Amino acid sequence: MFDPLTINGKRGVDLLHDPVLNKGTAFTESERDALGLRGLLPPRIFTQDQQMARVLENIRRKTSDLEKYIYLGSLQDRNENLFYRVVMSNLDEMMPLIYTPTVGQGCQEFGHIFRRPRGLYVTARDRGHIRDVLRNWPFQDVRMIVVTDGERILGLGDLGAGGMGIPIGKLALYTACAGVHPTQCLPVMLDVGTNNTALLQDPLYIGVPERRLRGAEYDALVDEFVDAVKDVFPRACLQLEDFGNTNAFRLLRRYQPIACTFDDDIQGTAGVALAGIYSALRLTHNRLADHKFLFLGAGEAGVGIGDLVVTGLKAEGVSEAEAKLKCWFVDSKGLVVKSRTDLAEHKLPYAHDHAPITDFLEAVETLKPTAIIGVAGMGRLFTRPVVEAMARLNERPIIFALSNPTSKSECTAEEAYTWTDGKAIFASGSPFKPVVYNGQTYVPGQGNNSYIFPGVGLGVIASQAKHVTDEMFFASAKALADLVTETDLAKGRIYPGLERIRAVSAAIAVAVAEVAFAQQLTDMPRPADLAAHVQAHMYVPAYPEYK
């Protein structure tokens, strides 16, 4: 007989409507008889492989990526094991559909394509009762929460409650890339309104149709939410995602010392960028200290990368002051310099003594950087003169166009390779196809945070770490860079292929767990075989046998 606890006592249609338990046409004859499914399913029994073939056929006949995004979301709502089997088995094809770049359009049109709720929505109306809202979630052993307030979604800006697509997508990657179990993942939207006029006027907008909450009321809401998470889900790690610059930095500073939390836009982006830089050093044949970095964009991503680069430079023996002088920033008003009086607090550590410069090309010509890193979310700002100047100044210019989605990328892979006569070491935030130039094929690296944050989360879960530290992201960057092979580098690729992402995430998780044990951030004893311990935590999307 079947153990009713295995299926939470569900039978018949209720079982078919539970995406965690549903196997669809893969339920066996004996399961159909025992669980009240006889007649509720077509008579032929299919394997998961056969079901996947049907799913792929349906996806591939759709004519737009948004339609594919919608279809995959519906599959996730029906049958999570099958959804993850499809994604994990076809990661190169599926990742751009469930996350960047397609998720950007999904968020922009969220209210118009909305079908079934996923995750939790917390609003100011819930003040005083947020614990009750969290207790409405059906799974108690939550280990990974991704929360946003929707103010700065990718490079698209304020999308309000439509930004819920980002936590949903990020957590799908936690499972697909690192094997965090789907029932341990919780997406949360802090719906504090939106200042996007188009959304406020949209009759199908799903969020609170009010302007954004600010000041003390906003802080009190976030405080109550974080306290509630610590109470209701005490073993959960809280990832802050796509908050506006002003809130992101201060929220990270506020909660990092008192909760198990991190900000992927600041720290995860930094980890993947530094890993790419370390890989690039194997092509430039020198050290981190031999480089000068010029950032286009001085927000969360840019300053986060700068901070981690400084950590790497200090590890090479460079003083902190000297390390910061190797990182220069250009924001919307020009070069970040000490004489400016309009600088936000997070930019001040990188405000150097220099004459003002308002033009990025002039900044390149004047500062002569070895690397330019685009994180402004503006698009097309690495112009041909900029890229050609980098090629003239450097034998192997490092050009990272990291803004998402693809429409916001500072330049394309083809432009980077063509305008530098094939000399560029290139990475982008969104995927680009291989480029053939002068008879050679270049495979551009995608500096996607999915190389870092899933492994960090898995490492925190496996080690039961109480905090997430900057050292964990430095260790992650080193571990990721170490996994780039000479074959990868020969193709111009400075990140491992996505087909290796679960092995990458496992290695990063081990590195993160080692930091947790070394820094005494956990009460659990260190397992004798840490790698095996991490592997034991990784979900595999095979159908269970209900018996």
Q: Which of 444, 447, 426 is nearest to 435 (CA)?
A: 444
Verify whether residue 170 is a known catalytic residue.
yes
- Rounded Cα–Cα distance for residues 145 and 46 (Å): 34
Beta carbons within 10 angstroms of residue 439's beta carbon? 6
Residue 199, classed as helix, strand or coil, is helix
Of the candidates 449, 399, 402, 447, which has an alpha carbon nearest to the alpha carbon of residue 426? 399
Q: Which long-range contacts (CB under 8 A, 24 or more apart) does 95-98 make?
A: 95/173, 95/176, 95/431, 95/448, 95/450, 95/498, 96/65, 96/430, 96/431, 97/59, 97/65, 97/68, 97/69, 97/72, 98/69, 98/72, 98/169, 98/172, 98/173, 98/176
The answer to whether residues 268 and 177 touch, using CB atoms and an 8 Å cutoff, is no
Among 170, 324, 326, 347, the one annotated catalytic: 170
**Residue 319 burial by CB count (10 A; 0-12/13-18/19+): exposed, middle or buried?**
exposed
Catalytic entry in 69, 84, 99, 205: 99
Please give the Cα distance from 311 to 296 (Å, whole number). 20
Contacts of 119 (CB under 8 A, 6+ apart): 164, 167, 168, 186, 187, 188, 189
Residue type, 422: G
417 vs 395: CA distance, rounded Å: 13
Cα separation, 344 vs 303, whole angstroms: 12
Peptide bond into 405 cis (omega under 30): yes
The SS3 assignment for 459 reads helix
Which residues make Cβ contacts (< 8 Å) with residue 380, sequence separation at least 6? 409, 410, 411
Which among 317, 315, 305 has a CA at the least distance from the CA of 329?
305
**Beta-carbon count within 10 A of 207 CB:** 25
Q: Is 255 a catalytic residue?
A: no
3-class DSSP state of 212 = coil
Angle between helix 453-463 and 470-482 (nearest 10): 120
Amino acid at 267: Q
Q: In terms of residues, how long is the chain?
A: 547
How far apart CA 81 and CA 225 sit, in angstroms, is: 30
The catalytic residues are 99, 170
